Structure 1
């Protein structure tokens, strides 16, 4: 198996060909000493429910895993918090305004982009949206629709961390419903 940084053959500082694997997360230039660390990129995804408790899901319009289900979200830009990212991405992808958001958990992931597996740290939010009348798929979303939690199939979600997150969401939703039934 090749190192995730093998795509980088030359030192970005001095141009040397002696840019070698330093450890599992870095490469080091033998000529100038520059060390490049491939740290995870921050990404976000949102769980958004309507008044009926159905989850808003998207169909991916672009690779990787084009055509599979996804949650709205995307990569964090420089000088942006994850909460700002999720609100911006939901506006860009779905034309919806986030009223409030709360982080639920994070999961490590690998995202294949331009032939390179990029490590990510995906932050999952629950977001509240009060007005769905402007809902429209845009950007890299081919379509958006609501799914009842009992009909969610995590295997239809193409990205590994999203699949894991939907599984966690579904399990918590089921256990919350059962705990209410027992009272």
Structure 2
């Protein structure tokens, strides 16, 4: 396997080409001593159910895994809590307003972005929403609907952590 930072050839501090592998998650500059660690980026996942217990699923509109099933969610922004991120992501992707969040669990993942395998830590939240009648697929979601738990097949979800997470949720 190649190094996570293989695409980074020059030190971001001094510009030296002496930017070499330090360990499996960092590179070190032999000119200025800077060490760049690649740590997981925080991401959030929303588990939303309707009054029948059906779970909100989405169809991905963009790569990676375009056309596969997903849950609402995405990356946290700078200076944003995970709770704020899940509320924002649900609004951006579905138009729904989250009124309460409850942390469930986390799973590590790798997300392919701009040719780079970005390690993530996906934080799963159970979310209550104000009303589901204004559900609309938006942003990077092609479709969004509530699916009965018994019909959910984790293998139809395109991202590894979402497959593992939905398996935990529906018990498959």
TM-score above 0.5, yes or no: yes
Counterpart residue number, 1:39: 39
Counterpart residue number, 2:18: 18
Q: Please provide the CA RMSD for this pair.
A: 0.8
Counterpart residue number, 2:55: 55
Decide whether the 8 Å contact of 2:96 with 2:130 is kept in 1. Answer: no
Supply the distance in 2 between the matched residues of 1:112 and 1:163 (Cα, whole angstroms).
16
Q: Give runs of ≥4 in structure 1 deviating > 4 Å.
A: none
| 3-state secondary structure, aligned to 2:98 | coil
CA displacement 1:87-129 (0-9 Å, x = unmatched): 0000000000001010000001110111110000000000011
| 3-state secondary structure, aligned to 1:158 | coil
TM-score under structure 1 length normalisation? 0.93
Supply the distance in 2 between the matched residues of 1:109 and 1:132 (Cα, whole angstroms).
29
Supply the distance in 1 between the matched residues of 2:151 and 2:17 (Cα, whole angstroms).
53
Counterpart residue number, 2:70: 70
Bigger CA radius of gyration: 1
Supply the distance in 1 between the matched residues of 2:54 and 2:34 (Cα, whole angstroms).
50
Unaligned runs of 5+ in 2: none
Query: Offset of 1:22 from its aligned partner?
Result: 0.3
Unaligned runs of 5+ in 1: 175-183
More helix by share: 1
TM-score under structure 2 length normalisation? 0.98
